[in-house]
Amino acid sequence: MIVFTILLLFTMVLHPMGGSVEHLIRITKTIVLTHSIAILSIPFGWIGFWGLTRKLGTGDFFSMLGFVTVSVALMAVLLAATTNGIALPLFLQNYQDANPETIATLKPILQYSFAVNHAFDYIYSASFCLAILSWSVSILQTAKLPRWTAWIGFAIVVAAIVIIVAGVAVNSLQGLRLFFAGIVIWIIMLGIVLLKHNHANDPINNHITKS
């Protein structure tokens, strides 16, 4: 989970701003690099979230609901990163030496591509919020992790809703950074808690401590 968040932070820092078609053509390598890091983070996230789910119990409904919904979120991230970060730059590379008239014909295609990407943005935003909400409920019910982690999870979901209601679009760069900042904080916090719990419950470590 911690590796997942580190790669997400790299993605947020390196993620380029939008711009004209000409600008997007110039920064195709940066776009591919940024979104490749996001795609690379997904397997680490999946493994980490499965570890959290197992810790809370695979027989717990809300624990499994959290894993299922975060899986949907990660799939949406994969599709968004592939569509906007790999397919689009590869498409634009064919028009590096195109004249202004040809460039103008690309704008409707880009608008459609951005619309598809925005749809994925909404899916992973809602799914991540539902996953955090589900795991927070599971933490309170099972008491297998500190309860304060659940309350922070609830606070992050409420903050995400407030951000959206305030008119900050989750598909904008500012909205993306605010949204993922909350997720990153919660994931790092849980990752540290899980590491401490695993260390405390390690039989070898307990034997050494008692000795």
The tens digit of pLDDT for each residue in 171-209 reads 566 666 677 777 888 888 888 888 877 655 544 444 333
The number of distinct structural domains making up the chain is: 1
How many CB atoms within 10 Å of residue 184? Answer: 17
Taking residues 58-63, report their average pLDDT.
93
The tens digit of pLDDT for each residue in 78-136 reads 998 898 888 888 888 877 777 878 878 888 888 888 888 888 888 988 899 999 999 99
Torsion from C-alpha of 165, 171, 177, 180, nearest 10 degrees: 80
Does the pLDDT at position 4 exceed 90?
Answer: no
Q: Which residue has the tokens 């909205």?
A: 175
- Contact (Cβ atoms closer than 8 angstroms) between residue 147 and residue 139: yes
Task: Tabulate helix, strand, coil % of the chain (nearest 5).
Answer: 85, 0, 15
The tens digit of pLDDT for each residue in 37-50 reads 889 999 999 999 99
Q: Which residue has the tokens 């900042």?
A: 181
Nearest to 29 by CA among 20, 18, 19, 16: 16
Find the helix or strand (DSSP H, E) in which 200 lies: helix 173-200
Q: Which is more confidently placed, 156 or 202?
A: 156
Q: What residue numbers bound the domain in which 123 lies? A: 2-210
Note if the pTM is more than 0.95: no
- d(CA 208, CA 65) in angstroms, rounded, equals 38
